[in-house]
Structure 1
Amino acid sequence: MTEHLTIVTHPLVQHKLSIMRDKNTSTASFRRLLHEISQLLAYEITRELDMTTKTIETPMETMDAPILEGKKLALISILRAGNGLLDGVLELIPAARVGFVGLYRDEETLEPVQYYFKVPENLEDRLVIAVDPMLATGNSSAAAIDLLKQAGAKNIRFMCLLAAPEGVARMKEAHPDVPIVTASLDRCLNDKGYILPGLGDAGDRMFGTK
C-alpha cells in the first residue's frame, strides 16, 4: 500500500456507517455493525499481503497454490474502543497475533497518556495493523505508532472507522510511512476534539457507558 489515506467507499460500508452515526441506534446494533464493518475494512487493508506458493494435492491433481508468506500478522488494539474493530478482524484472520496499547486522552491537554502496552514478539518480521475506530486529533494514534516502532515494528498500517482531517494530517506528519484505511474522512473536530459530524464517543456507544 502506498497511498497515505484510503477511504473505503463500498456501499455496504457506507450504509452500515450511516446507521452507526444515528444517535437512536442501540448499543447492541452499534456493536454488531462495528463488527461487520471491521471485516469489510480488513478486506481492504489486507489487500496487498505478501504471497508465496505451496504444493498441495486437490482431489483432482497436484498444484502450486497461493498462500500467505512470512510470520502471522499482528493486530494491535488501541484500547478500549479498538477492541470493537479487533473482534471482527480476528474472525477474518483467526491466526493473527494480538497486542494491546492502552492510552487515554487527558481532557485538559488532549494529549495521550499511556497505561498499558503488551504486544507480540518479532514485530519487525510481521505486518502490524493498529486499529482504533476514531482518528480525531491523531495524538493518541501517533503515540501508539511511536510505541509500536520502539517495539520493533517496521511495516505498520492503521485502520479506523472515522477520520478527521486534523488527525490524518497529524499522522502523516508523525508517521508518513503508515497508510491509513478508513470508512470516512469527516469534516472537522469540535473544540473538545470530537469528530464532526462523527458518531459521538465510539467506546461509550459500543459498551453502553457515558
Structure 2
Amino acid sequence: MTTQPSPFASSPIVLDHPLIQHKLSHLRKAETSTAGFRRLVRELSLLMCYEATRDLPLETVEITTPLETTHAKQLAGPDVCFISILRAGNGLLDGMLDLVPFAPVGHIGLYRDPKTLEAVEYYLKLPTQISSRRCVVVDPMLATGHSAAAALTRLKQEGAQRLLFVCLLSTKEGIAYLAETHPDVPVITCSIDPTLDDHGYIRPGLGDAGDRLFGTK
C-alpha cells in the first residue's frame, strides 16, 4: 500500500500554549524532584492529547438529557490506541489515558546502542486491529530520530497504517530523520531544541527522561 506524505510531517506541530510552555520550563529544571517530574509529564501529556486526538471521527447519536431527547456527537467507535516506546514513553500514558480511558495500549521496547546510537528492539506487545486504528506513538524525546524511526518501521510491519508521533522535546536532526524515513507520520512536540551533543543527548534538554521519571538517575 502506498502512503501519501502528511502535510505536517516535514513541519511538525509545535505546541506553544502558555500552560504547556510554563510546565515544560519547570520540567527542565535540574532541581525538579522525581515526584514533580512525574506530575508535570502527566499534566503535559494530558494537554498534548487534545492535539493528538483532534481529528478523531465523530458520529451523531440520540441521547436523553434531564429535559428532553436530542441528538449529540460522540466518538465513532474505538478508533485510537497508544503505543509507548519503553521505558520513558510510559510516563506520557497516564494523562492520555485520563482523557481516553478506553484506548488499548501497546508497548515496544528499544534501547540505543551507545556506540552506533542505533535502536535495538527487545520487546513488542501490541493491541489487536492496529491496522484500523489511529496509533499514537509516545516517547518523551526525539533526539537523533533512530529509535522513533525503528519503532514506526516495526509498527508498519505489524500492519499499522495511521501513525502519529508525540514527544515532549525534539531536535531538527530528529525531525529531519523522521521526515526522510517516515514522511507519512506527523510529529507533535512541545519544543524543538537547538542541538545534540556528541552522546546524542538533546541540549538544553531535560536530562534522561527515563531516569528522572523512575528515580534511577
TM-score range, shorter chain: over 0.9
- Gaps in structure 2 of 5+ consecutive residues: 1-5
Q: Does the aligned pair in 2 maintain the 1:112–1:143 contact within 8 Å?
A: yes
Q: 2:103 aligns with which of 93, 96, 101?
A: 96
Following superposition, the deviation at residue 92 of structure 1 comes to 1.1
Q: Indicate the residue corresponding to 2:94 in structure 1.
A: 87
Deviations 1:157-179 (A, max 9, x none): 11100001110001111111111
Following superposition, the deviation at residue 2 of structure 1 comes to 3.9
Distance 2:171 2:128 in 1: 32
Following superposition, the deviation at residue 87 of structure 1 comes to 1.4
The two structures have a TM-score, normalised by structure 1, of 0.97
**Helix, strand or coil: the match of 1:59?**
coil
Moved more, 18-27 or 52-61: 52-61
Q: 2:113 aligns with which of 106, 112, 124?
A: 106
Please show how residues 1-20 of structure 1 align to structure 2 within 5 Å.
2-4=7-9, 5-20=12-27
Q: Indicate the residue corresponding to 2:77 in structure 1.
A: 70
Distance 2:67 2:133 in 1: 34
The two structures have a TM-score, normalised by structure 2, of 0.94
Q: Does the aligned pair in 1 maintain the 2:56–2:79 contact within 8 Å?
A: no
**Helix, strand or coil: the match of 1:15?**
helix
**Which amino acid is the alignment partner of residue 157 of structure 1?**
L
Q: Does the aligned pair in 1 maintain the 2:23–2:40 contact within 8 Å?
A: yes
Q: Indicate the residue corresponding to 1:192 in structure 2.
A: 199
Q: 1:31 aligns with which of 29, 38, 49?
A: 38
Kindly indicate whether residue 176 of structure 2 is the aligned counterpart of residue 169 of structure 1.
yes
Following superposition, the deviation at residue 84 of structure 1 comes to 0.3
Distance 2:179 2:22 in 1: 28
Following superposition, the deviation at residue 25 of structure 1 comes to 0.9
Q: Indicate the residue corresponding to 1:202 in structure 2.
A: 209
| Off by >4 Å, runs of 4+ in structure 1 | none
